Amino acid sequence: MRIFGLIGYPLTHSFSHNYFKEKFRREIITNTSYELFPISDIKEFSTLIATHPNLLGLNVTIPYKEQIIPFLTELEATAKIIGAVNCIKIKHSLSGQVSLKGFNTDAYGFSQSIKPFLKNHYRKALILGNGGASKAVEYALKKTGIETIKVSRNAKSKPYKADFLYSELTKEIIQSCQLIINTTPMGTFPDIHNYPQIPYEHLTTKHFLYDLVYNPEETEFLKRGKLNGAKTMNGINMLKLQADKSWKIFNLQD
């Protein structure tokens, strides 16, 4: 039995398990399973690998996209630049050695999902959050020539990881950044009433709000954007695209 899976914590409402289960059924992929591996501490990762010899690939979600890197044997070039990993290809040698190569498919999923909406020629984007997902989004946007500004709610992260705190956002900043991406888990089910604290009253019909959260389908962040005339999009297409990219990586013959 070939085993693939997802690590993170918590994984109660994971999209990946059902997505891959349905993919295996639809494409008649046999002798293969996709499992959830909720680990409450990244130190549990080594035990997971040692006790699952049939494990051939893993996706990585919050909060381990950055913490996983020291445990890996190798980083693909894009993952190294971004500094975050959400896909691991696992190889087992005949001698018992295990090779763990990290990739980032979040950047691919995000860039492909948002591409149709970039015809409006956004020049500057506001990225909410400073975790692993925000790094992938920042990388993808910069590749298209879009300037990025990062916002964090954690004072200690400034000035090293974020340009502004939420409390520092002004009308001028909001109006100069017509593309706003939420890369935080705020608003994810069941905490659906939570949302990033930006001054929504300064949004206009020229704004586009993108939320990496997909459950619920319309987060409070997107609702508040829509009430002020902004175009909105959730993260479900990004998730599907990065998952399909991960599957191709898992099955690469190299």
Which of 32-36, 57-61, 116-120, 174-178 has the least mean pLDDT? 116-120
pLDDT tier at 156, thresholds 50, 70, 90: low
In the block, tokens 């190798």 appear at 74
Task: Kindly report, residue by residue over 195-211, the tens digit of the pLDDT.
Answer: 999 999 999 999 999 99
Closest C-alpha among 28, 33, 25, 73 to residue 49: 73
Which of 26-40, 147-161, 233-247 has the least mean pLDDT? 147-161
| CATH 3.30.70.100 is right for the domain spanning 2-104 | no
Closest C-alpha among 53, 50, 13, 20 to residue 35: 20
Residue 65 above 50 pLDDT?
yes
Task: Kindly report, residue by residue over 137-150, the tens digit of the pLDDT.
Answer: 999 999 999 999 99
Two domains, one topology: 2-104 and 107-238: yes
Closest C-alpha among 4, 150, 129 to residue 62: 129
Residue 253 above 80 pLDDT?
no
- Domain ranges within the chain, ordered by starting residue: 2-104, 107-238
Closest C-alpha among 166, 162, 184 to residue 174: 166
What is d(CA 73, CA 71) in angstroms, rounded to the nearest whole number? 7
What is d(CA 153, CA 129) in angstroms, rounded to the nearest whole number? 8
pLDDT at 254: 62
CATH superfamily of 107-238: NAD(P)-binding Rossmann-like Domain (3.40.50.720)
Would you name the residues annotated as active-site residues?
Answer: 65
Q: Helix, strand, or coil here: 222?
A: helix
Give the type of residue at 180: I
pLDDT at 12: 81
Closest C-alpha among 224, 253, 249, 205 to residue 104: 249
pLDDT at 126: 98
Residue 77 above 50 pLDDT?
yes
What is d(CA 153, CA 166) in angstroms, rounded to the nearest whole number? 6
Beginning with the edge strand found earlier in the chain, give each strand of the sheet holding 231-233 in spatial order. Answer: 164-165, 147-152, 124-128, 179-182, 208-211, 231-233
Residue 93 above 90 pLDDT?
no
Q: What angle do CA 166, 170, 171 make, to 5 degrees?
A: 135
Residue 159 above 50 pLDDT?
no
Task: Kindly report, residue by residue over 48-62, the tens digit of the pLDDT.
Answer: 999 999 999 999 999
DSSP for 64-102, written as a single string:
-TTTTGGG-SEE-HHHHHHT--SEEEEEE-TTS-EEEEE
Residue 157 above 70 pLDDT?
no
Residue 158 above 70 pLDDT?
no
State the sign of the Cα–Cα–Cα–Cα dihedral 94, 97, 98, 100: negative
Residue 160 above 70 pLDDT?
no
Q: Averaged over 33-49, what is the pLDDT?
A: 97
Beta-carbon contacts of residue 36 (< 8 Å; ≥ 6 apart): 5, 6, 11, 14, 16, 17
